[in-house]
Amino acid sequence: MEHGATIGYVSLNEEVTLDQLPVRGTIPAWLSGSLVRNGPAKFEVGTESFQHWFDGFAMLHRFSFERGRVSYANKFLQSDSYRQSMEQGHIVGASFGTDPCKAVFKPSMTEVVNANVSINHVAGAYVAMTEAPLPVVFDPRTLETLGVLEFDDRLTGHHGSAHPHHDANNHRTISYLTEFGMESQFKVFAIKEDRPEHTLIGSYPVTMPSYIHSFSISEQYVIIAEYPYRVNPMELLMRNRPFIENFKWYPEQGTQLIVMDKGDGSIVARFSTDAFFSFHHINAFERDGDVFVDLSAYPDASIVTNLYLEQLRHNRARVDSTSKSEFRRYRLPLSHAADAVTYEVLSRQGIELPTINYRRSNGRAYGVAYGVSVDKQRPEAVSNELVRADVNTRTTTIWSEQDCYPGEPILVESPDARAEDDGVVLSVVLNAHKGNSFLLVLDAHTFAETGRAEVPHHVPFGFHGWFFPDIGAGLDPNPFNVKE
């Protein structure tokens, strides 16, 4: 029998379609569309088991809303990695931290990628993504996998981001790739809204590439944080070790913050600061000639090794200060380049899986961020509260409930929204006491619960999702006729 939160790391093998979930409280009648979530849900194949949480096979979860009712469906992403593993009875494909497949991120492995991190809309297609460079297309209405999104160009690279940014002003998506080799390159590129084609924005050489999970954009710039969690690229390509186990922490090197012009790809500035690590940027913006970057920061990269399944399932993961994030705002002094980089902490609570009102506020000054955190009075290895952080007043509002473990909060604007927090926040919450999960709906401004919809089973702890208001409106989910 699984204990407490550890049920969140137990495989879910059943795929279901439920036309209506039981609702407690009220789901706003105006809420229409679908929340699609992504995350690992199967951790064993035959006698082999994944060792790291980040490696479990991807499952898509869809919560759809119509006139106060909520439906639900879940389905495994039928990536080549998943299908070959099921057929062969052992783990097949590149991994983040698991040893059995003896594989790293090489070009030959991209076709078997397990896209278990995020959901996005890229080049007109609905895609599941991971840090390998090929998104996997799916139909958001049926959750059927349609195949890998092929690009009409030859931009090369081994490791990228599951968090591309939508550059709305220029009608494109921006992301990056690291190409490992004798002369490794970090490449920032754009993808057109209506065509799967990369356009290189800018690049620069890196001797020892950093592990980077996400980045920021402002109105003029791309902001990259290179943490001193670095790898010898030739060792990475030649050794049969799990991808992340090739990286080492070099605190004496500090963290580098690079500002690139979104237009011509030139490096505008490069700043050095004390060592820290981050998975997730929150937002960036420009003010009085300087750039401000908000992110979820850790003092070192030990959080990565803290997330091995053996530790998480047996409550042995560290819960000390090195495993807790801070909501930091870094000032990059473009206007006074001789000034040092400084930062301030914007919330008394830590924050992870951070989100904002993306459509309205990404790349601009903003007022509110949402995320998950750990109650200081009830420290655990998994997040046990939701936070709403007002970055202007430096105040934080918390939602928590005994034995409940929330996932990433997603804001959905109300139809008549005037402020950035007019709407609701959606989060999939594991109820460890009951052994199932529910979809929680909070008022985005007050953080008071309006309602919840119960799922009959547990939803394993996931990563990221996206709300699509237009799903079900007759849009073509496969505009490029991707074939399996």
Q: Are 95 and 243 spatial neighbours (Cβ–Cβ below 8 Å)?
A: yes
- The closest alpha carbon to 19, from 69, 75, 61, 77, belongs to 69
245/369 Cα distance (integer angstroms): 32
Query: Which residues 6+ apart lie within 8 Å of 200 measured at CB?
Result: 155, 187, 188, 189, 265
CA distance 97 to 123: 30
Amino acid identity at 158: H
C-alpha span between 222 and 402 (Å, rounded): 41
Q: Which amino acid is at 403?
A: D
Q: Which of 295, 392, 277, 285 is nearest to 343 (CA)?
A: 295
The DSSP code sequence of 229-256 is EE--HHHHHHS-S-GGGG-EE-GGG-EE
CA dihedral 469, 472, 475, 481 (to 10 degrees): 120
Give the whole-angstrom CA distance, residue 347 versus residue 26: 30
| Residues with Cβ within 8 Å of residue 162, at least 6 apart in sequence | 117, 118, 129, 130, 131, 213, 214, 464
Question: Are 330 and 341 a contacting pair, CB within 8 Å?
Answer: yes
What are the residues whose beta carbons fall under 8 Å from the beta carbon of 197, sequence distance 6 or more? 123, 151, 152, 153, 191
Q: Which tokens sit at 428? A: 């999939």
211-223: buried (b, 16+ CB within 10 Å) or exposed (e) per residue? bbbbbbbbeebbb
Does the annotation list 163 as a binding residue? Answer: yes
Distance, in Å, from the CA atom of 266 to the CA atom of 188, rounded to the nearest integer, reads: 11
213 labeled part of a ligand binding site? yes
Helix (H) or strand (E) holding 280: none
CA angle centred on 299, ends 295 and 302, rounded to 5°: 105
In whole angstroms, what is the distance from residue 75 CA to residue 62 CA? 9
Q: Map tokens 């997730």 to a residue.
A: 280
Could you give the dihedral angle defined by the CA atoms of residues 481, 141, 175 and 365, in that order, rounded to the nearest 10 degrees?
Answer: 140
Task: State whether residue 5 is helix, strand or coil.
Answer: helix
Give the C-alpha distances (Å, rounded to integers) separating 295 from 169, 282, 347, 353: 23, 5, 12, 10
Instruction: Name the nearest CA neighbour of 346 among 394, 409, 292.
Output: 394
Binding-site members for Fe cation are 163, 213, 280, 464
